[in-house]
Amino acid sequence: MSTSAKTSPTWAILSLITNGVLFLAVILLIWRQQDVTAFLANILPNHVNANASSQPTPELGNRHKLSYQQWVDILKQEAKVVAEKRPTHLTILAGDSLSLWFPPELLPENRNWLNQGISGENSTGLLKRLELFDRTQPETIFVMIGINDLIQGYDDEIILNNHRQIMRYLRKVHPQIQIVIQSILPHAGEEATWEGREKLLNIPNSRILKLNQQLKTLATKEGVKYLNLHPLFVNNQGNLRPEFSTDGLHLNPQGYLVWSSALQLYSQMELEDQ
């Protein structure tokens, strides 16, 4: 299919109709200035509660008590198994707790997923452990990292430089695949209930927006893809929509369904036809 055909309104409409619930991501872009809670309540699967913002952060059992090195060792072993089995259509999620807690049942079903997220991870840590999945043969790697850098007080230049090195490393080791840098999500500001709320309040969401713009420019320069999720999750005040979050920082099932729909739609419109 030609580029012009792919970007035509007719093609886009047909794609949305064909893919059913995948139109959610686009609808949210159009309706982001409005209250979509009632709309979501009517169309989300039964296992996704429209009032899920009151739900607790997903439980990880004993894993939640692991040290950072123990997490790394587990992810290394999981990547090793995947490298040996070589599943088809392998896609990697690399990042922090937002990736870590992505419910497996909400991930797009047309791919095999390897989750390489660690709670509390920053861009420096991710850069150092990219080699864990060197031997895997993914089709796509989705990266989301940076919010913990901001919480931990790192300058934007450090975050951008680490992203640059992440992009270059992945392009060198996996030259034939699609690498997608995802935007940093906003936080809920004054409405946040996360235990580190005061740290969040020291990070203006306008700073995150500007950093995302710089990430987009950097991704283009480095020859990788950029997926801007930010507009899907932001409200009129520029903050994370409370109906998509458990505590103003982490996502609830409703938020993950939005993210999943965006991944599915983006993959079909930007990746699979190339």
- The amino acid at residue 268 is Q
Give the pLDDT of residue 64.
Answer: 59
* Model pLDDT for residues 117-170, shown as the tens digit of each residue: 999 999 999 999 999 999 999 999 999 999 999 999 999 999 999 999 999 999
Q: Confidence band (pLDDT; 50, 70, 90) for 32?
A: very low
Does the pLDDT value for residue 239 go beyond 50? yes
pTM here is 0.80
Backbone angles phi, psi at 111, to 5 degrees: -140, 160
Instruction: List 90's β-bridge partners, or say none.
Output: 112
Give the pLDDT of residue 10.
Answer: 36
Helices of type H across the chain: 3-6, 9-18, 24-30, 37-43, 68-85, 97-100, 123-129, 147-151, 156-173, 197-201, 205-222, 230-233, 253-266
Give the pLDDT of residue 269.
Answer: 81
Q: Are strands 112-117 and 140-144 parallel, antiparallel or unpaired?
A: unpaired
Q: Confidence band (pLDDT; 50, 70, 90) for 268?
A: confident
